[in-house]
Amino acid sequence: MITPISIFSLTLILLTTISCSQQSSYAHSNFLECLSKEFNNYSSISNNIYTPINSSYSYILQFTIQNPRFTSDPTSSPLVIITPQHKSQIPPLVRCARDTGLQIRTRSGGHDFEGLSYRALQQVPFVLIDLINLSEITIDVVRKTAWAGVGATIGLLYYTIAETSPVLGFPAGICPTNGLGGFISGGGYGRMMRKHGLAADNVIDARIIDASGRILNRKSMGEDLFWAIRGGGGASFGVITAWKVQLVDVPETVTVFRTGRTLEQNATQLVHCWQYIAPNLDKDLFIAVMLSRTNSSPKTTINATFHSLFLGGIERLLSIMKKSFPELGLVREDCAEVSWIQAMVFEAGFPIETPPQVLLNRTVPNTRRPFEGKSNFVQEAVPEYGLEGLWRLFYEDEAEEAIILMSPFGGRMAEISDSATPFPHRAGNLYIMLQATFWEEGENRESEKYVEWSRRVDKYLTPFVSRNPRAAYVNYRDLDIGVNNFHGETSYEQASVWGKRYFKNNFDRLVWVKTMVDPKNFFKNEQSIPPIGENLNTSTYYTN
């Protein structure tokens, strides 16, 4: 049962259960006193405040966490969790945290690879604003637009669009439980990116609450901040509460297929060939490859599974495949013609006949396991000998449940300028590579061996992936990149180690925007954009 907690009890809890300095405890008490003054009707927010001794605290904290490896350390957990019901409740939270010296972390879906949306590496007292309740979606069919609260999931957005129109869609990801807040603010790629670009490329307005507690839209925030939050990581700049997105046209019938090939079925040659073909196919055709180990009779082998979404009918798809990728040997029986929404169900990993209501589930049973994830961008095809070396790593014990997902770029992705949004990985990239290593939750004490395997793979890939800088995707956050002894403040030089990998030449502009909108660095985490003073050449940019 979720129970409210009084201002007196909450103050007492904070003062008696948190092991920290007297000064910090005083700040906690002041935070709660501040809230009681900010809210005319305190009960309107007290029902949504949870602390470690509240019976619902653990449930609220863990409900959307997708990587359980970070749930065992109470010292990194939030001092208070608040789940606002409306954006108007957030400015007081920001002002009170700022004025009493508490940090803020924001969470929308719980998919943060390193858990930084709900934990802190150092014992820094912070407030978690969980935006799960900000999930309202409104569709304007005539203008082909939607306003979506950041607490809404990709699955909810897909379902709501399809309920409104069978010929509208949105270019987002394949994981239906992913929250829109973090997904879009990091760029957000998916099966339709070769046709329509990233999710962030299709954002036309937003609402954000800044460090002063002001609620801003695109006009009032200005074009520089609007640029920064569409791919630069929104948590560095404020609390984003809603996105307005441009919907895209989709055919009434699309075609999907999923077909696997083992090493004995020429998987090495097919994957090598795919690298040249997939980024140059018709924009309507997206073919990704997932690499994994198959532990079955007669022997263990490597499997390459080709996943596809084609924005058209089966006849045209087969014609394109026969001309462009005949080596795969695709046949009609491998394919299925379905509606766009049913294709999203299939791409999410469910049987193709599953009702689309499954997309409304915020959690999927038996899918949340500890994992380590890393990303790379590939600009030159990995040679066959490079793939064969990768197979050898996949035969190691720690790789039993490891995957590598390779998603092709090209098409619209190559047409958009590197500086149009903070996401710079455009023309010149063949594909993005996601490496994920899973293990069972009971093995968490042995997690380091899986993490080390992931690092070995990442090191092995060094000659085959982008360089100068070696690029990575901010939505696959990786604390192995440039995070050492974080103590709440990060210098420009420290941050540039990971910042250049995530954002390349756009990093300096993000730093400049941060300096303009949050010079005191209120919104920060272990890999947030830092502000900088006179050392940054601000003449490069200008405000609109």
Residue 87: count of CB within 10 angstroms of its CB: 19
| Beta strand pairing call for 431-438 and 301-310 | unpaired
> What HEC string does 507-527 produce?
HHHHHHHHHHHCCCCCCCCCC
Residue pair 465/404 in contact by the 8 Å Cβ criterion: no
Is 283 buried (19+), middle (13-18) or exposed (0-12) by CB count in 10 A? middle
Instruction: State both tokens at 38.
Output: 């900010």
Find the Cα–Cα–Cα–Cα dihedral 382, 294, 255, 414, rounded to 10°: -20
Phi, psi of 208, rounded to the nearest 5 degrees = -140, 145
Instruction: State both tokens at 119.
Output: 């934990």
Is 533 buried (19+), middle (13-18) or exposed (0-12) by CB count in 10 A? exposed
Is 501 buried (19+), middle (13-18) or exposed (0-12) by CB count in 10 A? buried
Among residues 67, 46, 188, the alpha carbon closest in space to that of 118 is found at 67
- 167 φ/ψ sector (left φ>0, alpha ψ -120 to 50, else beta): alpha
Taking the C-alpha atoms of residue 103 and residue 488, their distance in angstroms, rounded to an integer, is: 9
> Which positions are annotated as active-site residues?
476
